[in-house]
Amino acid sequence: MSSDRFPEIFQSAFQAGHLLKCTLSKPAAAAPSDLKNIYIRPVTLKNGVKIAFNYRYKTRDEVKNYTLPEALGLLKNMLGTAFLNAELFTTERDFSVRFEKDGTASWSDKQPASTVAPETTHDREKKRLLDPASPWLHALGITSTKGEVLAAAQDKWRQINKYLEIIETLLRTHPLPPDVQIADMGSGKGYLTFALYDFLTTRLNMQPQMTGIELRPALVEFCNKTARESGFSGLNFLATDINDYHPERLDMLIALHACDTATDLALATGIRLKAQIIVAAPCCHKQIRRDMETRNEMAPLLRFGILEERQAEILTDGIRALLLEANGYRTNVFEFISSEHTAKNVMITAITEKKQKPRQPVLDKIAALKSGFGIREHYLEHLLDNNFQHLPE
């Protein structure tokens, strides 16, 4: 099959409304430097259906929309020269082509991975969780004065959007009252705090009362000033230790990358105040690692420092999830954002169970883990044991 065949198949799939997406990969010498892939898909814009090329550079994405002839011209120019691999997904069949450096092409095609008709509505308009032109994004150094996401802030932007997607899903399954009371513990410079407030007020029409808790007064001052300037009247920041923050009501607890046991302090507060949704992305995991003296069959593996470190992280976060379960939550632990973007990439979410499950089986699992790994006490357990004498058995 000749290399022109690919644009021809692309054209007929697009015209028939069967085109789902197309990916160009394996950049060659003719590709602009730092360009890793191009992701192509149809989009509906005000002036009709166009073809969006998402140019993925090492540190940023750039999206351009083209007419069909423009897109075909680009494909013809780039295939086999700038990119050596291409895949085309349609509702009828999936195709892939690989070029050798001498220009020869090998083709394959198979049953389609998806037969669902393509979504051509402009996703960015439809699903946009935040307006990049929001002034707070500029104040926090994410966007330019024109409201464009800066190249250096692309990872942060992706993280913010992923975070909001997670929250949106949690709120869909577990709706909270419009005047939801939220604490973001260890709020730092406030990227995710502002993002959540903006999303809840602008997209979900809620009227949250949200407090960022942060040890560093300079950050708190900056965030309060930015909140005032943004007209975010329900958002405020307090310069205090998580340990000293005791609100009367808490519906949602957020603790993102709060250092080591600060995550446990936050989780304990959330549990004590019966927050209905808890979202934590733990940071460093020192406490369990210091305490661990493995006595089970893992011991020969954990003499290697890196494996012991990973195991300590798994135990720290795994026991956190179990302790949440023991306190009436349904929990989930998953990758927050790919480790390509940050090493701190685990997220724990918890929502209150409608029906309380027996605690003892979960406590037994925790006890077995602690015994096998020679852990005297998990810090969250310590906090809970000292604060919660009255939990139902």
Q: How far is the CB of 126 from ligand SAM (least distance, A)?
A: 27
Task: Give yes or no for residue 63 binding ligand SAM (CB under 6 A).
Answer: no
CA distance 194 to 192: 6
Task: Give yes or no for residue 80 binding ligand SAM (CB under 6 A).
Answer: no
Q: Which is nearer to ligand SAM, 72 or 185 (CB)?
A: 185
Task: Give yes or no for residue 256 binding ligand SAM (CB under 6 A).
Answer: yes
Task: Give yes or no for residue 262 binding ligand SAM (CB under 6 A).
Answer: yes
Task: Give yes or no for residue 221 binding ligand SAM (CB under 6 A).
Answer: no
Q: Which stretch binds ligand SAM (CB under 6 A): 19-27, 185-193, 287-295, 308-316?
A: 185-193
Q: How far is the CB of 219 from ligand SAM (least distance, A)?
A: 6
Task: Give yes or no for residue 158 binding ligand SAM (CB under 6 A).
Answer: no
Q: Which of 213, 275, 350, 351 binds ligand SAM (CB under 6 A)?
A: 213
Residue nearest to ligand SAM (CB): 188
Q: How far is the CB of 338 from ligand SAM (least distance, A)?
A: 16
Task: Give yes or no for residue 162 binding ligand SAM (CB under 6 A).
Answer: no
At position 42, the amino acid (one-letter code) is P
Task: Give yes or no for residue 224 binding ligand SAM (CB under 6 A).
Answer: no
Per-position b or e across 241-262, b if 16+ CB within 10 A of its CB: ebeebeeeebbbbbbbbbebbb
| x/- letters, 190..209, toward ligand SAM (CB under 6 A) | -xx-----------------
CA distance 282 to 350: 14
Q: How far is the CB of 130 from ligand SAM (least distance, A)?
A: 15
Q: Which is nearer to ligand SAM, 90 or 269 (CB)?
A: 269
The footprint of ligand SAM on residues 274-313 (CB under 6 A) is 283
Q: How far is the CB of 261 from ligand SAM (least distance, A)?
A: 8
β-strand pairing of 19-27 with 35-45: antiparallel
Give φ, ψ of 317 to 5 degrees.
-75, -35
Q: Which stretch binds ligand SAM (CB under 6 A): 65-73, 212-220, 326-334, 369-377?
A: 212-220
Region at 186 (left for phi over 0; alpha for psi -120 to 50; beta for the rest): left
| x/- letters, 27..46, toward ligand SAM (CB under 6 A) | --------------------
Contacts by residues 83-87 (CB-CB < 8 Å, ≥ 24 positions apart): 83/24, 83/25, 83/26, 83/27, 83/28, 83/31, 83/38, 84/25, 84/26, 84/27, 84/28, 85/24, 85/25, 85/26, 86/6, 86/22, 86/23, 86/24, 86/25, 87/22, 87/23, 87/25
Q: Which stretch binds ligand SAM (CB under 6 A): 6-14, 20-28, 63-71, 259-267?
A: 259-267
Task: Give yes or no for residue 372 binding ligand SAM (CB under 6 A).
Answer: no
- The number of residues that bind ligand SAM (CB under 6 A) is 18
Both tokens assigned to 383: 């906090």
Q: Which of 105, 215, 363, 369 binds ligand SAM (CB under 6 A)?
A: 215
Contacts by residues 343-348 (CB-CB < 8 Å, ≥ 24 positions apart): 344/257, 344/281, 344/282, 344/283, 345/281, 346/281, 346/282, 346/313, 346/317, 347/166, 347/279, 347/280, 347/281, 348/278, 348/279, 348/280, 348/281, 348/282, 348/317, 348/320, 348/321, 348/324
Name the residues that contact ligand SAM, by CB under 6 A: 186-188, 191-192, 213-216, 241-242, 256-259, 262, 265, 283
